[in-house]
Structure 1
Amino acid sequence: MAKNTFVQPFLKWAGGKRQLLDEIRKYVPKGYNTYYEPFVGGGAVLFSLQPERAVINDINAELIRTYRVIRDDVDTLLEHLAKHQNDKEYFYELRALDRTEQFEALSPAERASRLIYLNKTCYNGLFRVNRQGQFNVPFGDYKNPNIVNEPVLRAVHQYLVENEIEILNTDFVEAVATAKEGDFVYIDPPYDPISSTSSFTGYSLDGFGRDEQIRLKQTVDSLTNRGCKVLLSNSATDFIKDLYKDYQIVIVTANRAINSNASRRGKIDEVLVMNYGKE
């Protein structure tokens, strides 16, 4: 089935896999039944593969709300996006909404359009919230951000509607609970930090520390026992390499484009972990 090239990420997302897609695709199984992605984020791998049956999930409720709005009400979303202004004062007014009671009264389409607008106009295209769950990235001051990317949004809408794509907002263990033999699970969790100062914890309110990495590894073991094919991305730290030492590990080099510290952007070693051989 021909892929629609307009089906691509509609957000810039920390840890996004666009520039690693060529490497990842080398190791995707030739055939599988249902595709699972428990940390879907910006959806680069999902939209590259465009499976006909998938279960996608993310712990970030605002992100998942946006996926669902694109699927269910893309016309209203586009109408709201067209109203936004690339203006500093306007940006901070809209950003501050999640600090008010008015935020809960917004419709799903209004909240989705706010998320996309903030993502397109904030500094470095970063999604980050504080401990109260409030968006806290400053204005990016870009001359002409692509706030209303109608071709991409309509193509993603069409893909989500025309295929069997279940969209969840739950814990990663729950997200893969129905995976069985013959299914393929791609796992792209928050990465193990390569240094004590590099941890990116602002993606959601729930920190993803070593205990969570261990719980995730136990989930990979469970999926393996069920006969699922699993491919996992993470940083190439000694901790991760030791954790998955019983699996096939491939080292790949990625460019980290999103980091608040410019000195930490650049080429970083990452791992692809598999419970199967390259096909």
Structure 2
Amino acid sequence: MAAVHPGGDPGLGTSIFIFSPRPMMLALSSPPQPRPFLKWAGGKGRLIEQYRPHFPTTIRQYYEPFLGGGAIFFYLVGRFKQAVLADVNPELVNVYQCVRDQVEPLIQLLEHHGHHHSHSHYYDTRAQTELQISLQRAARLIYLNKTCFNGLYRENSKGYFNVPMGSYKNPKICDRTTLRLASAALKSTEIQCESFDRVLKQAWHPQDFVYFDPPYYPISATSRFTSYNRYGFTPEDQIHLRDTFATLAERGVQVMLSNSDCPFIHDLYQGFHVRPIQANRAINANARRRGKITELLITSYPPR
């Protein structure tokens, strides 16, 4: 507070007091960020802080050939102009395409599932294997994903989803905000039902970034969850993936891959940059084998 006297004479006239309040600090909140709308076994959401120092500083175009829950894609949104996302699971690809292109009618269908959710509704929905309308198929997969045991996607040999219902008291079946943010993030993406090696026809630029998150190589003879669909992922597939990784690296493309910390994977990726990552194992038939484990993060480029 300052006193000002007319005419500059402190003895004359009436003092005028001017208050100088402290500058107001405006709270600036960050815009909401897109995030995965599916629960996914092996999803990388909890590992991003460990991955973050190893992402390329410049990304021209992003490729993710094993899409799954898409945690890395959603984290990197805004750092590239275009992305190509792919998976061999046609139902998963259909879900992403519907979220991108028809999110509002999809939300309406999910709200219907949420209103009718029950034991009988779950198994009736799971049995609907012949749905022809893409939106209905997408809503079915999201509903089952949100209400099944452990959020685990698994198919039997005929390609039918076969996970039992979970024991959630109040599952959030329709997360409208998350779906709308995901839809906006997916607008500039190409979403394909393709094998991982399709990326060899697409990624050529040295600022392209390819992230591979394949079914992990089993770390023991009793490891069972090495693929979530009917096709499986064999040691020969792992070798073919390494060859794809190496071809991209020879072109100068920036490549990152996640996999098991085991001798087979170490041997496959000799000569590349391999580092351990601490992760949690949430799915194992033996509860004592759940918890902290080490995985590998492999890049074609040196650490920053």
Instruction: Measure how far apart 1:48 and its partner are.
Output: 0.5
What secondary structure, in the 3-state scheme, does the structure 1 residue paired with 2:246 have?
helix
SS at match of 2:201: coil
**Consecutive aligned runs of 4 or more in structure 1 exceeding 6 Å deviation:** none
Tell me how far 1:260 sits from its aligned partner: 4.0
Instruction: Using the TM superposition, give the Cα deviation of residue 245 of structure 1 relative to its aligned residue in structure 2, in angstroms.
Output: 1.1
1:4-46: CA deviation from partner (whole Å, max 9, x where unpaired): 5441111111110011111111100101211111111100000
Structure with the larger RCO, 1 or 2 (CA within 8 Å, 6+ apart) = 1
Corresponding letter in the other structure for 1:72:
D
Q: In the alignment, does 2:83 pair up with 1:54?
A: yes
Conserved 8 A contact 1:129-1:202: no
How far apart are 1:274 and its partner, in Å?
A: 1.0
* SS of the residue 1:22 aligns to: helix
In 1, distance between residues paired with 2:258 and 2:165? 31
1:111-260 mapped onto 2 (5 Å cutoff): 111-161=137-187, 164-181=188-205, 182-260=207-285
d(CA) in 2 for partners of 1:223, 1:37: 13
Report the Cα distance in structure 2 between the residues aligned to 1:93 and 1:38, rounded to whole angstroms.
32
CA deviation string 1:214-256 (max 9, x = no partner): 0000001110111101111001010001110111110111002
Report the counterpart of residue 34 of structure 2 in structure 1: 7
State the TM-score, normalizing by the size of structure 2: 0.86
Report how many residues are paired. Answer: 271
One-letter amino acid matched to 2:58? G
CA RMSD across the alignment: 1.5
In 1, the alpha carbon distance for the partners of 2:142 and 2:33 equals 17
**Is 1:82 equivalent to 2:111 in the alignment?**
yes
The Cα shift of 1:3 comes to 8.0
Larger radius of gyration: 2
List alignment gaps of at least 5 residues for structure 1. none
Conserved? CA contact 2:35–2:182, under 8 Å: yes
Aligned partner of 1:152: which letter? T
Q: Could you list the runs of 5+ residues in structure 2 that have no partner in the other structure?
A: 1-28
For 1:239 and 1:247, the matched residues in 2 are separated by 14
Shift of 1:258: 2.9
Q: Given the alignment of the two structures, is residue 33 of structure 1 paired with residue 76 of structure 2, yes or no?
A: no
Whether 1:73 and 2:102 are equivalent positions in the alignment is: yes
- 1:61-111: per-residue Cα shift (whole Å, max 9, x none)? 11110000001101110010011132111101111111xxxx243x11111
> CA separation in 1, counterparts of 2:81 and 2:67?
16
Q: CA deviation at 1:262?
A: 2.3
Q: Structure 2: which amino acid aligns with 1:147?
A: I
| Kept after mapping to 2: 8 A contact 1:57/1:175 | no
Q: 1:3 to 1:131 in 2, by over 3 A?
A: farther
Tell me the distance in 2 between the aligned counterparts of 1:122 and 1:271: 29
Deviations 1:48-69 (A, max 9, x none): 1113211111111111100000
Give a deviation string over 1:105-160, Cα, whole Å, max 9, x none. Answer: 3x111110100000100111111111011111111121110000000000011111
Aligned in 2, Cα 1:204/1:3: closer, same or farther, shift over 3 Å? farther
Tell me how far apart the structure 2 counterparts of residues 25 and 272 of structure 1 sit (CA, whole Å): 11
Aligned AA for 1:88?
H
Q: Percent identity?
A: 46
Cα distance in 1 between the residues matched to 2:225 and 2:74: 24
State the match for 2:4 in structure 1: none
Contact 1:18-1:45 within 8 A present in 2 as well: yes
Q: Name the CA shift for 1:64/1:142 in 2 (closer, same or farther; >3 Å).
A: same
- The letter for the 1-side match of 2:142 is I
Contact 2:216 2:226 in 1 (8 A): no
Q: Is the 8 A contact 1:123 1:141 kept in 2?
A: yes
2: CA distance between counterparts of 1:175 and 1:260? Answer: 34
